[in-house]
């Protein structure tokens, strides 16, 4: 997850340089921060145990559900795709490539967490779903005030 904050800053600053607006950076930071907070609240309430130690290839000491790695990967990389989609004027193929890349990153993180024995499959599916919902809610509440993130109508 350490890689996500530099990505957020670079994408947000690049969007600001292009548009003069801080809305993309605000959206990306809010999405990432909301995901961290909500995932940790759910982990504290649910308290689901990890898979047995004999399956684990990594040492993890927090609750298992939902997967924070999956939630963050899906939320942030999808948010980056949304910023790029609405913040620039890419062609249809470039848009499909960006959305596809976000999907590949999300699925790869999910698969790695299960493979490493750090999570049950339901943990990563729940985390990815939560990340997608939180990103959509952040976009829903932040994009309408911003011309560079709002969908173009007409």
List, by residue number, the catalytic residues. 69, 119
CA distances from 60 to 49, 68, 73, 134 (A): 11, 12, 18, 24
Three-state secondary structure along 32-94?
HHHHHHHHHHHHHHHCCCCCCHHHCCCCCCCCCCCCHHHHHHHHHHHHHHHHHHHHCCCCHHH
What is the rounded distance in angstroms from the CA atom of residue 62 to the CA atom of residue 118? 10
Distance CA 116, CA 104 (A): 18
Within 10 A of 79 (CB to CB), how many other CB atoms are there? Answer: 29
Q: Measured at the alpha carbon of residue 97, what is the angle toward residues 18 and 4, in degrees to the nearest 5?
A: 60
């Amino acid at each position: 997850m350490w890689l996500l904050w530099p990505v957020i800053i670079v994408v947000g600053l690049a969007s600001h340089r292009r548009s003069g607006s801080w809305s993309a950076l605000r959206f990306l930071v809010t999405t990432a921060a909301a995901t961290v907070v909500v995932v940790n609240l759910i982990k504290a309430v649910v308290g689901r145990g990890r898979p047995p130690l004999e399956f684990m290839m990594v040492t993890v000491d927090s609750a298992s559900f939902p997967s924070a790695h999956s939630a963050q990967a899906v939320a942030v990389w999808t948010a980056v795709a949304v910023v790029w989609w609405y913040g620039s004027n890419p062609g249809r193929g470039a848009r499909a490539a960006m959305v596809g890349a976000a999907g590949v990153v999300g699925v790869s993180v999910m698969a790695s967490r299960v493979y490493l024995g750090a999570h049950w499959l339901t943990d990563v599916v729940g985390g990815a779903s939560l990340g997608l919902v939180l990103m959509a809610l952040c976009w829903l509440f932040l994009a309408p005030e911003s011309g560079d993130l709002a969908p173009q109508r007409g």
